[in-house]
Amino acid sequence: MKSGLFLCCVLGILVPLCQSCNKCSDVSPPPTAPIRFIIVDKGGKNLVTTEGSRYSPDSIRLFETDKKTNVIFDIKYDESVKGYLFQADCYKNDSGSSQLFLRLDQSDTDTLIASYQTTRSKCFTYHDYTHFQLNGKDVYGAGETAALVIVK
């Protein structure tokens, strides 16, 4: 009798716990959209192309504050921007913004501030980029890729 009562108590505790665990396991957080960017001249011409461009796609790096961790995870030629499109992500902190360093080549490095909003739910934490500044000036996404347009 006592063991039956004990089993009922244990099941009464474990079943609701397991059910609440399953609710979160069935829900995936929406992926954080990457930081997409292109590098153009003042006329809008992409400066990272396949032939004779000002910058090589292999030389472009986006570093975390430690200036060692490159956060670019994808580089692809994109016909819609007539050059290379870069995708990156960065470490998120409690302040809501991260300072990054965009190194275009050995002699040209800029500071990119990525601001984001953090949404916390019972099941996951989600980040949404809200604002970007390059060297203290606002930069915006444009075109069908919504890539940040970095003018050099």
pLDDT of 97 > 70? The answer is yes
Token pair for 19: 């059910």
- The mean pLDDT value for 62-86 works out to 95
Higher pLDDT, 32 or 65: 65
Determine the structural domain holding residue 123 and report its residue range: 32-151
- The beta strand positions in 1-152, using DSSP E, are 35-40, 61-63, 72-78, 83-88, 97-105, 108-120, 125-134, 137-139, 141-142, 147-151
60 within domain boundaries: yes
Position 14 scores a pLDDT of 43
Which tens digit of pLDDT belongs to each residue from 129-139? 999 999 999 99
125 within domain boundaries: yes
89 within domain boundaries: yes
| Alpha-carbon gap, residue 64 to 112, rounded angstroms | 10
Position 7 scores a pLDDT of 39
CB 46 within 8 A of CB 38: yes
Compute the mean pLDDT over every residue in the chain, rounded to the nearest whole number: 85
24 within domain boundaries: no
What CA–CA distances, in Å, run from 83 to 29, 77, 147? Answer: 32, 5, 12
| Alpha-carbon gap, residue 103 to 97, rounded angstroms | 19
Higher pLDDT, 26 or 122: 122
| Alpha-carbon gap, residue 127 to 68, rounded angstroms | 23
8 within domain boundaries: no
22 — pLDDT class (breaks 50, 70, 90):
low
Position 38 scores a pLDDT of 97
Token pair for 86: 């870069």
144 within domain boundaries: yes
Question: In the chain, how many domains are there?
Answer: 1
14 within domain boundaries: no
65 within domain boundaries: yes
